[in-house]
Structure 1
């Protein structure tokens, strides 16, 4: 057997030690990725958004849409409520509860409805407002949607367009219409969900159409064709036709990045930056994000150039957080 010089032996031993350390580090990185609690990371994200917004405006409403299992500690409807999360939010939005889960204008399977209601009622029992958006266009289905949701203690909107780009003409009278001055989400008895203003020729046209209605709450985009609504325009939108006032809430996606937003950079593509993930095949231009990444979170909130700060500066009364259920995508792709 050939003798290995002492110096060479030391070098080889050090190299082996280094390689083993690198393997261990890589293994730890893999395990860290696998062991991410995707539900809790989304809860933490929403809680951070809420703390930041309410430090500026304590009455600012924070409403996550979908992802309703987050209201319990482990995502099971039979488990204890997630107190920290529930304390951070003012309501929950839920799509397709009674219509639209599989197909628009088609009743949602009762098993799905009952499962979702188990979580929604936990939130409601903790004093949170429940806002349901059903996608249905047949008058009888729209009428039933309003009736059953109200009977459950939820306020609802029967959207006859999945794109949420119009003000429905049915029913002729808004469900639970009133002339009250609405100053908080808890007071609202109905809402209009209108986030894609493509059918309106201008901001002025959009404002005119909305102020001709008596909805208690308006969920809209903070931008009209990439131009932000000003605080004066948002204030104008708060006037109801009957003399009352409404609250105006801005839509904001936090589980996907959108390539038509002010923050988007032309060089971005999945994997660059590292937190940008696959494009949503159902919504072109929308990309999954590793929402627990601090760089992405800094785009959303926490500083003067963030998305949320722009919404606060424009005078919105709250924020409607979308793609909360992004945790399901990552749990399914571990």
Structure 2
């Protein structure tokens, strides 16, 4: 009994001493990272920064739909601060492309995604779906299914998103009205890789000749930032209605062809740079909660987001939101 009492006293004393030491040094006891909340915080920070400069700036995170609820379950408590920070959510492979391109997404996976996307819609957050299919009947079905759910969609016939599809000849639900918000849009084009176009002028001309309500493109053509006049010229559809031009940003991975990449990182990488993505060579996982990485993306005059704002984009399309899955699996 005395031995048990002594052990108990020692245990209590140890806990108290650890607590005292933590207070004395200013360090909290180590806790497990909440990678999902880290990503929410990152997106929320981007939104606050951008909307302070341009109040109507549009923020659209792609994938990572589990962030819409606090526990990542479709029945969970809504992540209200996150929902308030975003204007839309992007989702790939909802109807086609989940297992392979031009293949139907399994019903179980589709319905799981829909349960979260409907949360977004009910919360006033627009849904943009990119399906990957090229068979014309699949393309038609993709547009039909997404429209029936109230989603805006794009059927991409190339996973690289480097072309304007020949089919359909005109954008789904094409119209001549002006589009000044996501709510007014009925279709979109995702054309984030311009390398298949022979020149900068050819790329810009091809986009101008379309009637899509929203066009998602890169800030750069090759290594040069698009100018404010070039971005402004893209905001008019071929049918003369106005539209939204959104900039693509990979915030969950660093890309070795971007302006911020330092050659010395290949041998002496910063602490926040993780391993290369084997599916996309040249793309590296990042500790996205790290302030040094976040400073590259937003918050400073030379940040990626400030460059986007400076040339007049209407919003930002944030990719690799689901990077939290990589770190949860480590």
TM-score normalized by the length of structure 1: 0.90
- Pick from 69, 72, 88: which aligns with 2:69? 72
Q: 2:269 matched to which residue of 1? A: 272
Contact 1:270–1:279, Cα closer than 8 Å, also in 2: no
1:182-221 mapped onto 2 (5 Å cutoff)? 182-221=179-218
- Pick from 313, 323, 329: which aligns with 1:316? 313
- Pick from 280, 284, 308: which aligns with 1:287? 284
Q: Within 2, Cα distance between the matches of 1:270 and 1:252?
A: 25
1:249-268 mapped onto 2 (5 Å cutoff)? 249-268=246-265
Unmatched runs of 5 consecutive residues or more in structure 1: 1-16
Q: Within 2, Cα distance between the matches of 1:270 and 1:117?
A: 43
Contact 1:100–1:107, Cα closer than 8 Å, also in 2: yes
1:248 aligns with 2:248: no
CA RMSD of aligned residues (A): 1.7
Contact 1:213–1:241, Cα closer than 8 Å, also in 2: yes
1:83-94 mapped onto 2 (5 Å cutoff)? 83-94=80-91
1:126 aligns with 2:123: yes
- Pick from 154, 158, 162: which aligns with 2:159? 162
Q: Within 2, Cα distance between the matches of 1:106 and 1:124?
A: 26
Contact 1:63–1:93, Cα closer than 8 Å, also in 2: yes
Q: Within 2, Cα distance between the matches of 1:131 and 1:251?
A: 14
Deviates most, 264-273 or 304-313: 264-273
1:59 aligns with 2:20: no
Q: Within 2, Cα distance between the matches of 1:173 and 1:205?
A: 19
Q: Within 2, Cα distance between the matches of 1:91 and 1:273?
A: 32
Give how far 1:36 is off: 0.3
1:95-174 mapped onto 2 (5 Å cutoff)? 95-174=92-171
Runs of 4+ more than 4 Å apart: none
Q: 1:8 matched to which residue of 2? A: none
Q: Within 2, Cα distance between the matches of 1:68 and 1:271?
A: 34
Q: Within 1, Cα distance between the matches of 2:272 and 2:240?
A: 47
Contact 2:170–2:211, Cα closer than 8 Å, also in 1: no
Number of aligned positions between the proteins: 308
Give how far 1:271 is off: 7.1
Contact 1:271–1:277, Cα closer than 8 Å, also in 2: no
SS in structure 1 of the partner of residue 280 of structure 2: coil
SS in structure 1 of the partner of residue 207 of structure 2: helix
SS in structure 2 of the partner of residue 325 of structure 1: helix
Contact 1:165–1:195, Cα closer than 8 Å, also in 2: yes
Q: Within 2, Cα distance between the matches of 1:275 and 1:322?
A: 18
Give how far 1:269 is off: 3.4
Q: Within 1, Cα distance between the matches of 2:103 and 2:59?
A: 30
Unmatched runs of 5 consecutive residues or more in structure 2: 1-16
Structure 1 residues 188 and 270, CA gap change in structure 2 (3 angstroms)? farther
- Pick from 164, 178, 181: which aligns with 1:181? 178
Deviates most, 177-186 or 258-267: 177-186
Contact 2:69–2:77, Cα closer than 8 Å, also in 1: yes
Q: Within 2, Cα distance between the matches of 1:272 and 1:163?
A: 27
Give how far 1:270 is off: 7.9
